[in-house]
Amino acid sequence: MKREYWFVIITYIAMQLSGFVGVPILMMLGALTGASHHDLQMKSGAYWIVISFLAALVLVLFFMRHDMRESRNSRNQASIPVSIAWAVAGIFLALFSQSIASYLEQLFGISPGSKNTQDILTLIKQVPWVIFVSSVIGPILEEIIFRKIIFGSLHKRYNFFLSALISSFIFGLAHMEFVHILLYTAMGFSFAFLYNKTKRIWVSMFAHVAMNTLVVILQLFSKDIEKMAQNAKHVQGIIGGFL
């Protein structure tokens, strides 16, 4: 594995662990505001996610600058029109694999719903900038690490299926939500397929960003939609009573 790949992986791990230091520092700085401990902890955690992910993205792009330049000159990449088509189709592929995995999980008695998603939504309500991290920066970093580096390195030695399966399983483990390991592995497998099909990492990035954005938006507005539906039924009942 290339030396810069190890720098990227170390940066990603350091980012994940940095909250143990960064959050307490932000809490100490924010203690002067007089906010409650719970609110201070939530906002400090949210702000640190934004800070750490942005810093990690800058470092990762710096480490990968030569590799990305070499990738652009590769001759085995799919054409731009074909890559765009796969990027768009990849959104539906990821959603389809997610729905199949969710169905299988329910057959095994695993209740739907992700704790990670709910935690992210809580942080977004505290600091709206977190939505940019969860929908854009996070997927970009994950595609570079789990598809470009891990899957790409494995695929030099093993066939596609085994390389995609191993890298997707690691992708699932990294989310620390083991009850939904099948769900994350299925999505990771879809993104690995897109990258392998086009040899362009931005294709899987686009699909990943679009899917995360769609999920967050639907989750954020699901309660509002539910309230609107209930209000519509109530209004319909009132109108029906007057007719």
Q: What is the H or E stretch that residue 94 is in?
A: helix 80-107
Question: For residue 200, is it left (φ>0), alpha (ψ between -120 and 50) or beta?
Answer: beta
Non-local (6+) Cβ contacts of 42 within 8 A are 122, 123, 126
**175 carries an active-site annotation:** yes
CB atoms within 10 A of CB 81: 8
Query: Which of 151, 162, 136 minimizes the C-alpha distance to 50?
Result: 136
Non-local (6+) Cβ contacts of 63 within 8 A are 4, 7, 8, 11
- Which of the residues 66, 70, 105, 175 is marked catalytic? 175
Q: Judge whether 160 and 218 are in contact, CB under 8 Å.
A: no
Which DSSP category does 135 fall into?
Answer: I
Query: Which of 155, 91, 123 minimizes the C-alpha distance to 19?
Result: 123
Residue 87 CA: distances (Å) to CA of 146, 201, 206: 17, 10, 6
Q: Judge whether 208 and 143 are in contact, CB under 8 Å.
A: yes
Q: Judge whether 15 and 155 are in contact, CB under 8 Å.
A: no
**208 carries an active-site annotation:** no
The whole-angstrom separation of Cα 142 and Cα 147 is 7
- Which of the residues 37, 105, 142, 208 is marked catalytic? 142
> In the structure encoding, which two tokens stand for residue 2, read together?
């290339």
Active site residues: 142, 175
